[in-house]
Amino acid sequence: MKIFEKKKDLELFLDTLREKGNDIAFVPTMGGLHDGHLSLVDKAKELAQIVVVSIFVNPTQFARGEDFDDYPNTFEADKLLLESKNVDVLFLPSKEEIYPHGTKSDYQVGAIGQILCGAFRPTHFDGVAQVVKRFFEIVEPNFAVFGEKDYQQLQIIKSLVKNLNLSINIQSMPTQREQDGLAMSTRNQYLSDSNREIAPLFYSALKDAKNEILEGKTISDAIKDTKNKLSKSFEVEYLEVLDANNLTQIETKTSEIIIISAIRFGGTRLIDNLIFRRKNV
Ligand code: PAF
């Protein structure tokens, strides 16, 4: 695995590979790697001859008071995991490499960045879009792979690619879960042992909501009952049941549904979602 810290060196190396006819698949990460990230790498390996992974904790997607300074750094373990997956290139840029002209962004996400997580983290998705756009300019991948756990992020990246007319094929992978159902997340490390035992109730409440909707419960009752259930253990930031294709309200013709939620639990913020099809629609 080749490691680059400088954008120029990476660009030269990738140009040579491209000239030889190789496609490039890119997996951006902030490190703290787990099986969820590795599933993205596996997908990238299927898609292209060359796989580039970046590790960069992007300051512009954290608001003041969030966990930027404490974000888990497991670099040595991450490197070994990526080597074990035969990743071709690891890009480890500094803040100056990514933002040589300062962190002011020239891309605004718009309305889709202000709902759900964006209502609680108003500057987050502009920061995500900014760094992903910058990585796309540097890596110029044919494919980029993102996790469906960050479902709103995935939709925002897809619209970025469309709005900027980029020829990058965005692929996604389903959320990877621990055996007890908890969605894998770097931030799970923040949970105390006792909270870690309770955290799977989050996903089981989403599963119950799905079953109840499929059995005929109205969407508004399912939302109300699930929020009540979750509130017994967690502080619910939001819980919505939406059209999975565009994160808008469900209509009678909507067949692909997402139950999407964020909770706070002992100082840790967790997000999760569940996508399913409604029959006979
Ligand atoms: O999903 C993440 O880890 C980050 O938001 C990303 C896409 C790497 C951008 O910093």
Domains of the chain: 2-173 (3.40.50.620), 186-273 (3.30.1300.10)
10 lines ligand 1 (CB under 6 A): no
pLDDT tens digits, one per residue of 76-129? 999 999 999 999 999 999 999 999 999 999 999 999 999 999 999 999 999 999
**Among candidates 140, 137, 68, 143, which has minimal Cα distance to 100?**
137
pLDDT tens digits, one per residue of 2-44? 999 999 999 999 999 999 999 999 999 999 999 999 999 999 9
- Give residue 153 CA to ligand 1 midpoint distance, Å: 8
Pocket test for ligand 1, best of 41, 56, 61, 157 (most atoms within 8 A of CB): 61
User: Is 101 a catalytic site residue?
Assistant: no
Residue 104: predicted pLDDT: 95
- Give residue 5 CA to ligand 1 midpoint distance, Å: 18
CA 275 to chain centre: 15
* pLDDT mean across residues, the chain: 97
185 lines ligand 1 (CB under 6 A): no
The residues with which 275 forms a beta bridge, in sequence order, are 258
Q: Which atom of ligand 1 is nearest to the CA of 57?
A: 10
32 lines ligand 1 (CB under 6 A): no
- Give residue 28 CA to ligand 1 midpoint distance, Å: 6
Taking 90 as the threshold, does the pLDDT of residue 252 lie above it? no
Taking 70 as the threshold, does the pLDDT of residue 280 lie above it? no
State the SS3 of 136-150: HHHHCCCEEEEEHHH
Please give the torsion angle defined by the CA atoms of residues 207, 208, 212 and 214, in that order, rounded to the nearest 10 degrees: 20
- The residue count of the chain comes to 281
**Among candidates 86, 126, 95, 94, which has minimal Cα distance to 110?**
126
Take residue 215 and report the two structure tokens written for it: 């059995």
Q: Atom 5 in ligand 1: which residue has the minimum CA distance?
A: 128
DSSP-assigned letters across all residues of the chain: -EEE--HHHHHHHHHHHHHTT--EEEEEE-S---HHHHHHHHHHHHH-SEEEEEE---GGGS-TTSSTTT----HHHHHHHHHHTT-SEEE---HHHH-TT-S--S----GGGTSTHHHHSTTHHHHHHHHHHHHHHHH--SEEEEEGGGHHHHHHHHHHHHHTT---EEEEEPPPB-TTSPBP-GGGGGS-HHHHHHTTHHHHHHHHHHHHHHTT--HHHHHHHHHHHHHTTSEEEEEEEEETTTS----TT--EEEEEEEEEETTEEEEEEEEEEPTT-
Q: Atom 9 in ligand 1: which residue has the minimum CA distance?
A: 128
Q: Atom 1 in ligand 1: which residue has the minimum CA distance?
A: 29
**Among candidates 5, 12, 7, 13, which has minimal Cα distance to 50?**
13
For tokens 């013709």, the residue is: 253
- Give residue 60 CA to ligand 1 midpoint distance, Å: 11
Label residue 281 by pLDDT band (50, 70, 90).
low
**Among candidates 136, 153, 66, which has minimal Cα distance to 98?**
136
Q: Which atom of ligand 1 is nearest to the CA of 28?
A: 8
Q: Say how far apart CA 271 and CA 178 lie, in whole Å.
A: 14
Take residue 144 and report the two structure tokens written for it: 């980029």
Taking 90 as the threshold, does the pLDDT of residue 278 lie above it? no
The residues with which 269 forms a beta bridge, in sequence order, are 264
Q: Which atom of ligand 1 is nearest to the CA of 186?
A: 3
Q: Say how far apart CA 44 and CA 23 lie, in whole Å.
A: 10
Taking 80 as the threshold, does the pLDDT of residue 217 lie above it? yes
One-letter identity of residue 144: A
